[in-house]
Amino acid sequence: GYINGSGEYNSFGADPDILCLPTMVLGRVGSGKSVLLKHLLLQLLKSQTFNIIIPDLKTEYRNLLPQSDSLKVLTLDRIKINPLQVPDGMDPTWHRNYFAKVFVSQNFLGGTSLNALIERVQKLYEVNGIYKGGQKFPTMEDLYKLVTHELATNQPSFKYRDILLLIQNRLFPYASNDVFRCEKGIPADYWEKFNLVLELDKFTDNEYSFIVSYIAGLRFELNRDRGLIGSKLRTLFVID
């Protein structure tokens, strides 16, 4: 911004790296929070040192397109994500555990569901040869069908059956959503190459939270594997 007058100190601003810290814009409804964010984004989009991802529930950030050549908008029909797809170079065991942790936390499942989910993802990975370098990744629909099959054919204890029923219930929206019904979705490196608006207006709250947490955590882990740590902004997530 600018301060009235002239001279050496008539402008002010902030280093984008300060946004490595979680930052909130607070205000009443209609007070201009989104307007402020859009003004900030138009300035930040000029940077070449980091990228920006905007998970958009309102489908209004596409309005920035005429003012920024570097921004891409992914509408729902162009978003394909397979959370069970292991990124290139990543250990399948780590990714199996990471997926399960994020899914459990963002879909309000108890800690007792974690091991049950890990075991079923492991079974799918073994069947599809993922631990041996296979690329035929199971889908969320495959995971849902496995849990459903076990509930129909096995006789788990009453307590364990309740755990599987909860997992089945949480998996159903993902299994029936075309966004997740793919063996190979958007590759992990895509999330670091481009400035993106993800239009997620048709998602449930759980699906939205899961996708944002999954992508953000994946970006952090891949950066850490490369030794890219510290207070240097590399990908900025903007949640409105």
73-119 per-position pLDDT tens digit: 999 999 999 999 999 999 999 999 999 999 999 999 988 999 999 99
What's the whole-number mean pLDDT along residues 199-211?
A: 95
Task: Work out the percent of the chain whose per-residue pLDDT is above 70.
Answer: 95
What confidence category does residue 6 fall into, taking pLDDT thresholds of 50, 70 and 90? low
The pLDDT-based confidence of 3 (bands split at 50, 70, 90) is very low
Residue 46: pLDDT band with limits 50, 70, 90: confident
Output the six-digit token pair for 219: 């970006």
If you average pLDDT over every residue of the chain, what do you get? 91
SS3 7: coil
* Confidence at 229, pLDDT banded by 50, 70, 90: confident
Q: CA torsion sign, 31 to 33 to 36 to 42?
A: negative
**Which of 2-6, 12-16, 108-112 is predicted most confidently?**
108-112
Cα–Cα distance between 101 and 105 in angstroms, integer? 6
Task: Encode 138-170: b = buried (16+ Cβ within 10 Å), e = exposed.
Answer: bbbbbbbbbbeebeeeeeeeeeeeebbebbbeb
Q: How confident is the model at residue 4 (pLDDT cuts 50, 70, 90)?
A: low
Average pLDDT of the residues in 142-168: 92
Report pLDDT for 7. Answer: 53
Average pLDDT of 141-155? 94
More confident call, 16 vs 182: 182
Rounded Cα distance, 7 and 17, in Å? 26
Asked if the model's pLDDT at residue 21 lies above 90, the reply is no
Mean pLDDT of 6-33: 79
